[in-house]
Copies of this chain bind each other. A is one copy, B any other.
């Protein structure tokens, strides 16, 4: 039976980059027999503009009925004056929690062809291949109480709540240990257990889960030190596992080590391995509509989708190899340009990957 993929282009550069991924999916279907069908729906600012809500019920229903979701990006200054409850970002958060996509996998890999694009010295990042496992449906992103209230004095006060249950921590740690078994068998759990009781519980549960994986070495690091170590010596890490907020911050820093936030895909999985796939980068409103955005993070997100949700590891490898060949040819969008390479636009890059399949 063919697999159902829901396409959510979103805002900013979302539609442009997703268009290239769709080209690729069509080619995989028509030329390589990957059995899939695609449907589209609205999310984010685009959905808000059309329906008054960043996650219309039809979109959530369609997402639930899909095997996998491909998302471009959401948000932009156009919607920033709106309250948090109806911002484009709420559409994304609603999908994550509505589908129970608690496990966010964010690889940070330095493509050897792109070493020149990193702001770090070559010896510090050469061969970098780390994976951040970020908890995605809990923590301070979703904790209650939240909001702004007014004190008797008339002064306002803003509140958000960091909260995790043992089972929420346990299942994300388990994912980290499982993927570490397929990699270099090292897990570093990142917390602030010297200050925050919630993350003291996190550390305790990480240790408990680790007992089931005697072949994996577990270490612990405070989040401030982790941010520093990512800049100092990122290759010391294999798998990092952390909460929603820390994972948001550390994965962006890690992505930048590779000099190419425009290159990095992500997968967000639930217990049934249903998944949402999206580039780590945002909607980049400053370059939207110009045809210059890098589609490779979205294209590599398709590769993750093929591997984790569509059970097509061969096709996944084919896509990744095609991206490698295109980089070998010296084609570069503006974000990864370096001396001696050739600048191309979004569509030209997408076409080149399809041609290299």
Contacts and interface: CB of A to CB of B under 8 A. Distances in A.
A161 B158 CA distance: 10
A311 B233 CA distance: 40
Interface in A40-80: 75, 80
Interface in A217-238: 223-225, 227-228, 230-233
A329 to B, nearest CB: 25
Given A140-B162, A227-B250, A232 B197 contact: no
Contacts of A253: 227-228, 230-231, 253
A111 interface: no
A131 B329 CA distance: 42
A102 interface: no
A269 B110 CA distance: 42
**Residues of A in contact with B, size category:** 35 or more
Contacts of A160: 161-162, 196-199
Interface in A127-146: 140-141, 143, 146
Interface stretch (A6-14, A254-262, A292-300): A254-262
A124 interface: yes
Contacts of A227: 227, 249-250, 252-253, 256
Interface in A141-171: 141, 143, 146-148, 151, 155-167
Given A121-B120, A228-B255, A231-B256, A200 B248 contact: no
A84 B121 contact: no
A162 B164 contact: no
Nearest to A122: B121
Contact of A161 (B159, B164, B201, B228): B159
Interface in A179-235: 192-202, 223-225, 227-228, 230-233
A158 B87 contact: no
Contacts of A164: 157-158
Given A120-B120, A197-B146, A228-B253, A155 B167 contact: yes
Contacts of A158: 162-164, 196-202
Residue among A93, A201, A251 having the largest count of chain B Cβ atoms under 10 Å: A201
Contacts of A113: none
B84 A194 contact: yes
Contacts of A159: 143, 161-163, 197-198
20 contacts: A84-B193, A89-B194, A119-B124, A140-B140, A141-B196, A148-B197, A148-B200, A155-B165, A155-B167, A157-B163, A157-B164, A158-B199, A159-B163, A160-B197, A192-B245, A223-B248, A224-B249, A227-B256, A230-B253, A231-B256
What 9 A-B pairs come out closest when comparing CB atoms?
A: A158-B198, A158-B201, A224-B252, A231-B256, A227-B253, A228-B252, A228-B256, A160-B162, A119-B124
